[in-house]
Chain A
Amino acid sequence: MIDYSALTEFLLILAGGVIAGIIGSLTGLGGGSVLVPLLTLFYGVPIEYATGASLISTIATSAGSASTYTKKGIANIKIGVGLEVATTLGAIIGALTFEIVVTHNLQYILYLLFGVVILTSILPTVKRGKYEYPEEKPLDFTSRVFQLSGKYYDEKSKKEVRYTGVRWWLGEIIMFFAGLLSGLLGIGSGALKVLGMDWAMNLPMKVTTTTSNFMIGITAATGSSIYWYAGYIQFFLASATAIGVLVGSRIGSAVLLKISNKEIRWIFFTVLSFLGVDMIFKGITLSKIYNIPPIDGFGISVTFSIILVILLFIKLSIAEGKYGNLR
C-alpha cells in the first residue's frame, strides 16, 4: 500500500528542486543557491539538511553539464584540476566549520552569510556574458610554469580561440574562499570561481564558466563526504532534490537557448534577491538580535528585492548605453 501522503511530500520537494534548478540555470548562479533558501524558507527544512541536499544536487548538475562542455573542449581540465588544490582544501575547512557552527547552534550565521553571498553574487553574475574575450595582459611566470594556455573552437564566431591565463597564485587564493563557501553553505560558489578565473587569471568567459562548472562537482564532492558522516544527508530529501534540480537545470538551459528576450532573466534575479534578503531576515530573527515577524519580513523582502533589482537594471542599462561597444 503506497503512502500517498509521503508520495505527495516527495513530489512537492522534487517540484521545489525543479524550480531551483530552472532559476539557478537561468540566472547562472546554480541550483544550490536557490535550493537552500527554498527548502529552509518554504518547506521548513532545517538548514543542516537543506545544505546537505544542496551539495548532492550540485554534484549532479555539475556532472550533467560538465560532460557536454568537456566533450566540446571548452572547459580546461588542466587549469580546473590545478585550481582544485585550493578549492578542495577550502571545502574541507568549510565543511568542518559548518559542523562547528551547527553543533554550537549558531545556524543564524549560515542564514546571514547565505543571504549576503546571494546578494553579492547577483551583480557579477549579471555582468557575466556581456563580453567574451578579456583584454590582453602581459604574461607572467605562472603562465608558463603552470601551463595556462589553451584553445577552443567558438561556434558563434566560427573561429579557434587561443588564450593564456595569468596570476595563477591569485586564482588559487580566490578558489580557496570559493571552496570554503561551498563547504560551509552547500553551494557550488560558481560566482566566486568565475571571478577567480575571469578577473584574476584573465581567461575567456566561456572557458571560465565551463571550467567552473567542471570544478564545482569536485568541490561539492569534497564537502559531501564530510556531510555524510556528520549525518547531514537526509535520504528522502537528497533523492528528491538530486533528481529535481538535475531535471530543472536541464529545462533551464533549454529555455535559456530559446528565449530571445534575455531581459526576462531580471524576473529571476528579483526572485533570487528576495531569497537573499529573506535569508538575512531569518538569520536576524534566529540570532535574537531583532525579531522580524515572518509576514513583515516577507513584505520587506519583496519590496527591497524589487527596488534593488530595478536599481541594478537602471545602473547596468546606463553603463551599457555609455559603453555600448563592449557588448
Chain B
Amino acid sequence: METSDKLTSVVSAILKYAIILSIACIVIGTGLMFINGNANGIPISQLANYENPKSPSYNSSSFSPVLIPQSIAHFDALGFISLGLWVLIFTPVTVLFSSLVDYMYTRNRLYTILTFIVLFNLFAAIVIVPHFVSN
C-alpha cells in the first residue's frame, strides 16, 4: 500500500500555503512594529534587546496565543508576528490531520494508529507539557 496521490497533493498544498500565510503575517507584524515604534505597548528599542533571556516582558512566555485575536483586532504587531509563528507550529498538525483522514478513509488501521500517536505527541507538546515547564 503506497501513499495516495490525493494525500500527497493535499499535504503539498498545505505546506505551500501555510508558509506563504505565515511569512506574510510575520512581514506585516514586523512592518507594523517599525511603523508604530512598538508592539503590545513595548517600545521597539526594548523589543530589540535580546541579550537577557531572563527578561519576561519581551519573549513568548509573556504573550499567550489566546491574546492573538484581540491583538490583531487592535492591529498590533505582536499579534501578527505571533500568528505567523503559530501558523508555522500548527502546519505539521494540519498535515498530520490530513494523513489521519486519508488512512481512516483507506482503512489503513496501522497507520491510523501511528498517525494518532504522533498527533497525540504534538498535542501533548502544545497543551500538556507546557504546564510542567517553569517560567
Contact = CB atoms under 8 A, between A and B. Distances in A.
A236 B51 contact: no
B88 A59 contact: yes
B53 A225 contact: no
Contacts of A230: 61, 130, 133-135
Contacts of A7: 34
B118 A235 contact: no
Contact of A242 (B8, B59, B85): B85
A146 B110 contact: yes
Interface residues of B, number: 72
B11 interface: yes
Contacts of A239: 26, 29-30, 81, 84-85
Interface string B69-100: 00000000010011011001111110110010
A2 interface: yes
B64 to A, nearest CB: 9
Nearest to B38: A3
B5 to A, nearest CB: 8
Interface string B1-45: 111010111011101101100110011011000110101000011
A21 to B, nearest CB: 13
A96 to B, nearest CB: 7
Contacts, number: 225
Most buried by B among A85, A89, A149, A229: A229
Interface stretch (A22-30, A44-52, A121-129, A261-269): A44-52
A90 to B, nearest CB: 10
A43 B12 CA distance: 35
A76 B3 contact: yes
A201 to B, nearest CB: 15
Contact of A63 (B18, B65, B96): B18
Interface of B: 1-3, 5, 7-9, 11-13, 15-16, 18-19, 22-23, 26-27, 29-30, 34-35, 37, 39, 44-45, 47-48, 50-53, 56, 58-63, 65, 78, 81-82, 84-85, 88-93, 95-96, 99, 108, 110-111, 114-115, 117-118, 121-122, 124-126, 129-130, 132-135
21 contacts: A2-B35, A3-B34, A3-B37, A6-B34, A56-B85, A63-B15, A66-B15, A70-B11, A71-B9, A81-B118, A82-B111, A84-B118, A85-B117, A99-B133, A102-B53, A221-B93, A222-B92, A231-B59, A234-B59, A235-B60, A235-B81
Given A52-B60, A88-B118, A235-B60, 9 more contacts: A5-B48, A9-B48, A46-B50, A77-B8, A78-B99, A81-B96, A218-B95, A224-B89, A234-B58
